[in-house]
Amino acid sequence: MKLNIRRKAPSPLEQLVLEYVWANPRCTAEMCREGLARRRALKDSTIRTILRNLEAKRYVTHEVDGRTFIYRAVDTKRNVAVQAAQQLIDRFCDGSLEDLMVGFVDNQLLAPEHLRRLAERIASRKGKKA
């Protein structure tokens, strides 16, 4: 399956805010600011700018409740990760997932035991979809 969604990757600061939005659906800019204060103190205007940037990149969307913007993620964290991985595969492996997986094994990022468990998970998913 080839995913056609192309988005510019979030910056590290955008990623931090996006992580908060994934963990706290239907949040406001103020909730983000307060929720992230322990990890990184940010001004209200900075949070709002980051949320606008994430919206422009199609990672979040908002609805308006009175004068308050309520933000939610457009897609799940897993789907965003899959889209990013697809871009890496296309860019560095000429679209070959197999080349990437072999590279993982060659560089000892993926052990044979991981491959066995992965194969089992894939097999069990195929059985559920049939």
29-36 helix and 44-56 helix, angle to the nearest 10 degrees = 120
Q: Classify 22 as helix, strand or coil.
A: helix
- Name every residue whose Cβ is closer than 8 Å to that of residue 59 and which is 6 or more positions away in sequence: 7, 10, 14, 18, 73, 74, 75, 80
Tens of pLDDT, residues 52-77 = 999 999 999 999 999 999 999 999 99
| Residues 21 and 63 both lie in one domain | yes
Quick check: pTM over 0.85?
A: no
Domain extent at residue 71: 1-92
| Residues 67 and 116 both lie in one domain | no
Across 59-76, b (16+ Cβ under 10 Å) vs e yields: bbebeeeeeebbbebbbe
| Residues 125 and 86 both lie in one domain | no
pLDDT band at 129 (very low <50, low <70, confident <90, very high): low
| Residues 16 and 47 both lie in one domain | yes
φ and ψ of 37, to 5 deg: -55, -35
Tens of pLDDT, residues 102-119 = 898 899 898 888 888 988
pLDDT at 31: 98
Tens of pLDDT, residues 40-49 = 999 999 999 9
Residue 4: pLDDT over 60: no
The total of structural domains in the chain comes to 2
